[in-house]
């Protein structure tokens, strides 16, 4: 009985010693315990990133530099996001894709967002890339064109259904223009020195001048039609159900744009990998030509992405004036700046 009692006391002492050692290891960070109370309680540490997709409004270009900077430099990762950037194209409608739930975010121009709302598609603008759209009409240097009214009697290569073109036709009474569908190819424009073509000042003029054709451009904004361009949006439903993810994505994208401003050379190489149809020098031209439109105007004071109720209201009234909208809407339901980072 004595040996049995000694063995019992010895077992207790060993058990106590093991407990002390275990506590010491825990205090020193040893063993498998963690500072995370959920993990300590047996719950695995949360490391899964939230997957989201953004559909661009065109093939990858300098105008999407902020997205690719956020992806390439780990900014989205830091926001705990797994972001897929899907390029657009002439047959791609980001609005249809986002509205159907196949992507969380899209990029479109402000007038397209208003027209989608008219059709009952509940999307909400969250941030703009361009304070002033770089959309322009391009024409031959020797054509004699100085203002939009000079387009009468000429051929204009234009993508059908563009709200800005309807505005120009209305304001400048362009009733004798020959409209030809814009295809992205410039040979017909080059061959007709009296013609004009849609363009972006940070894109097409560079391509055409490399072919030995001297051109000038006139910003659509010079007509006082000034929609925000390359606007990031989501659906009302996704915004309501996932406000933190929206805030993280918009914050990350704005950080990406600020990063692109300083590290554009690195990101331009990434854009060139995604869109091999563009040369590096063309992307570099686009980045330089667009800087003022992204970082200037209201963005200079309020930060990249900023939008105002005044601008949205003015655009809405212009669309009513040309018959593309049939009634006013509360623009405060169309856009929000609540998810932009503090500046």
Average pLDDT of the residues in 157-173: 94
Q: Report the half-sphere exposure of 339 (CA within 13 A, side-chain side).
A: 24
Residues 221-280 pLDDT 10s: 999 999 999 999 999 999 999 999 999 999 999 999 999 999 999 999 999 999 999 999
Q: Which residues of 306-326 are buried (b: 16+ CB within 10 A; e: fewer)?
A: bbeeebbbbbbebbeebebbe
Work out the average pLDDT over 93-99: 97
- Quickly state the pLDDT bin for 4 (edges 50, 70, 90): very low
Task: For residue 124, give Cα distances in angstroms to 142, 234, 259.
Answer: 43, 6, 25
Mean pLDDT for 194-206 is 96
Q: Residue 227: what are its φ and ψ, rounded to 5°?
A: -70, 145
Q: What is the pLDDT averaged over residues 122-144?
A: 97
Q: Work out the average pLDDT over 70-92.
A: 96
Model pTM score: 0.84
Closest CA to 78 of 104, 49, 107: 49
pLDDT higher than 50, residue 108: yes
Return the minimum-mean-pLDDT range out of 13-22, 41-50, 230-239, 319-328: 13-22
Percentage of residues in the chain with pLDDT exceeding 90? 83
Q: If we measure between CA atoms, which residue out of 284, 262, 259 comes closest to residue 271?
A: 284
* Residue-averaged pLDDT of the chain: 89
Instruction: For residues 319 and 337, give the distance between their C-alpha atoms in angstroms, rounded to a whole number.
Output: 22
- Note the pLDDT of residue 1: 42
Summarize pLDDT for 290-301 with one digit per residue, the tens.
999 999 999 999
Confidence of residue 6 (pLDDT cuts 50, 70, 90): very low
Q: How high is the pLDDT of residue 13?
A: 40
- Output the pLDDT for position 183: 85
135 phi/psi in degrees, rounded to 5: -65, 135
At residue 29, does pLDDT exceed 80? Answer: no
pLDDT at 22: 37
Note the pLDDT of residue 46.
53
What is the per-residue pLDDT for 8?
42
pLDDT grade for 184, boundaries at 50, 70 and 90:
confident
20-29, 97-106, 159-168, 176-185: least confident range: 20-29
pLDDT higher than threshold 80 for residue 10: no
């Amino acid at each position: 009985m004595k040996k049995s009692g000694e063995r019992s006391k010895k077992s207790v002492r060993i058990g106590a010693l093991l407990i002390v050692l275990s506590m010491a290891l825990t205090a020193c960070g040893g063993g498998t315990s963690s500072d995370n109370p959920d993990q300590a309680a047996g719950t695995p540490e949360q490391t899964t990133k939230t997957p989201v997709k953004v559909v661009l409004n065109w093939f990858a270009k300098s105008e999407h530099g902020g997205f690719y900077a956020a992806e390439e430099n780990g900014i989205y990762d830091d926001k705990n996001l797994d972001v897929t950037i899907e390029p657009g194209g002439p047959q791609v409608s980001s609005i249809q894709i986002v509205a159907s739930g196949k992507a969380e975010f899209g990029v479109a121009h402000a007038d397209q967002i208003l027209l989608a709302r008219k059709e009952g598609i509940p999307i909400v603008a969250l941030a703009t890339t361009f304070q002033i759209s770089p959309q322009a009409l391009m024409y031959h240097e020797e054509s004699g064109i100085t203002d939009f009214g000079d387009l009468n009697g000429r051929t204009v290569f234009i993508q059908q259904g563009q709200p800005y073109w309807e505005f120009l036709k209305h304001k400048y009474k362009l009733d004798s223009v020959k409209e030809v569908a814009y295809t992205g190819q410039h040979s017909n424009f080059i061959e007709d020195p009296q013609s004009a073509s849609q363009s972006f000042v940070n894109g097409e003029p560079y391509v055409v001048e490399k072919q030995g054709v001297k051109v000038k451009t006139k910003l659509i904004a010079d007509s006082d039609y000034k929609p925000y361009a390359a606007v990031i949006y989501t659906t009302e439903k996704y915004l309501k159900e996932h406000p933190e993810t929206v805030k993280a994505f918009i914050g990350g994208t704005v950080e990406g744009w600020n990063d692109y401003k300083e590290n554009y050379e690195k990101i331009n190489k990434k854009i060139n990998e995604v869109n091999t149809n563009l040369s590096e020098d063309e992307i570099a031209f686009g980045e330089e030509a667009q800087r003022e439109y992204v970082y200037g105007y209201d963005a200079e004071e309020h930060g990249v992405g900023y939008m105002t109720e005044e601008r949205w209201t003015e655009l809405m009234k212009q669309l009513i004036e040309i018959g593309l909208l049939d009634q006013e809407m509360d623009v405060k339901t169309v856009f929000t700046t609540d998810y932009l980072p503090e500046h």
